Amino acid sequence: MRASTPANRSPLPPPRIHELSPEEQSVYATLDPERVPQHVAIIMDGNGRWAGKRLLKRFLGHKQGAESVQFVVETASRINLPWLTLYAFSLENNLRRPKSEVSFLMTLLKNYLVGNVKRMNDNNVRMAYIGRTHELPAEVRDTMQWASEETARNTGTTLTLALNYGARSEIVDATRSILTNLIAEAHKRGCSLEDLLQVDGLETHLDEQHITGHLYTANMPDPDLVIRTSGEQRISNFLLWQIAYAEIFVTDRLWPDFRGLHLLEAIAAYQQRERRFGGLGEGTDEHLAGLEPASEVAEEISTELSGQASPVLTRR
Ligand code: FPP
């Protein structure tokens, strides 16, 4: 399922900083409001360990984790974070966890939605979903649809829950959808797929933009910041395409202990990072304006490789 959200959002309403707790306000005061990320994605991990440490059953960790979700969403909405995406249930969770745990997580999700739609509306939060949600139980899908319809008119944070989600299968689904469209196009033009590609050129029909446009997240900006709780340094098949240039923040805190304050701390750490998107950083001593022309560099490198140059490449 795609997050059903318009590409051109209406402007966000003013932030509600006065509703942050005093602790949150003091972290928020250190932030540059102009550089709050557009999209934060969170891998919520550690529910089982949280429960284990307290000698509780795993499901109580998930229950407490659902409470954290609401705290974090409300802080996100108060600071006007436009997009918050939470990895709530992976394809692998669905396949590899005991049926009883999967069934508990489904009931928890349903109860969470029913119990929190009013708070979502009070906080101007819109609900969306990504993943192979058509494979979820019908009554869960009905509740999901109800929650997204009830919150569809909200203009603040879009909360996207990744459910029965896997990044590789998302890429497979996108590729299948591109192929299906191409076959339909060939059919419309009365030619074979091979002829269509030969006439138009493969690059006309398949480039990065096409793949991006067929992902579940087609209408969303890429995450700027990925947070993972519980100290694991893994991405676990989450938004693999979209996080190509995201900053990653790992905290040892277990998800059921994670609050809005910790979201703000992660954003503060993010603001200390220098994002380079494959280019040169601002702190580099090689500024683009001062670089030699490519032809001169090529000549210099070729002389260097042939062993005729001074030991160090010259720099302007
Ligand atoms: C990881 O904990 C978390 C999950 C498998 C699911 C995330 C679910 C929630 C936060 C609760 C429900 C969410 C919503 C939106 C209602 P884990 O079980 O892998 O923890 P462990 O690694 O410590 O065992």
User: In ligand 1, which atom is closest to the CA atom of 63?
Assistant: 11
- Write the pLDDT tens digit of every residue in 50-89: 999 999 999 999 999 999 999 999 999 999 999 999 999 9
pLDDT at 7: 47
pLDDT digits (tens, 9 = 90+) for 141-193: 999 999 999 999 999 999 999 999 999 999 999 999 999 999 999 999 999 99
How far is 27 from 289, CA to CA, in rounded Å? 37
- Ligand 1 surroundings by CB, under 6 angstroms: 44-49, 62, 65-66, 69, 88-89, 93, 108-109, 112, 161, 230, 255
98 CA to centre of ligand 1 in angstroms: 14
Fill in the amino acid letter for 191.
Answer: C
Catalytic residues: 45, 93
76 lies in some domain:
yes
For residue 85, being part of any structural domain is answered with yes
Q: What are phi and psi of 215, to 5 degrees?
A: -75, 165
Task: Find the 60 Cα to ligand 1 centroid distance in Å.
Answer: 10
pLDDT in tens, 4-44: 555 456 677 889 999 999 999 999 999 999 999 999 999 99
Residue 266 resides in a domain:
yes
Confidence band for 279, pLDDT divided at 50, 70 and 90: confident
For a ligand 1 pocket test, name from 59, 62, 102 the mutation site with the most ligand atoms within 8 angstroms of its C-beta.
62
- Residue 230 Cα to ligand 1 middle (Å): 11
Residue 315 has pLDDT above 50, yes or no: no
- What percent of the chain lies above the pLDDT cut of 90? 82
9 is known to lie in a ligand binding site: no
Is 287 a domain residue? no
CATH number at residue 237: 3.40.1180.10
Residue 218 — pLDDT band, cuts 50, 70, 90?
A: very high
- Work out the end-to-end distance of the chain between its first and last CA atoms, rounded to an integer number of angstroms: 53
Please indicate, yes or no, if residue 195 is contained in any of the structural domains. no
Interval 234-267: pLDDT, tens: 999 999 999 999 999 999 999 999 999 999 999 9
**Could you list the residue range(s) of the whole structural domain that residue 267 is in?**
17-165+221-271
Whether the predicted pLDDT of 305 surpasses 90? no
Residue 154 lies in a domain: yes
CB 123, CB 79: distance < 8 Å: no
Question: Average per-residue pLDDT in the chain?
Answer: 91
Strand order across the beta sheet in which 225-228 lies: 126-130, 158-165, 83-90, 39-43, 225-228, 247-250
Beta bridge partners of 250: 228
Atom of ligand 1 nearest to the CA of 93: 5
CA 159 and chain centroid, separation: 11
pTM above 0.85, yes or no: yes
- Number of domains forming the structure of the chain: 1
* Residue 103 domain-assigned (yes or no): yes
- In this model, does residue 314 exceed pLDDT 90? no
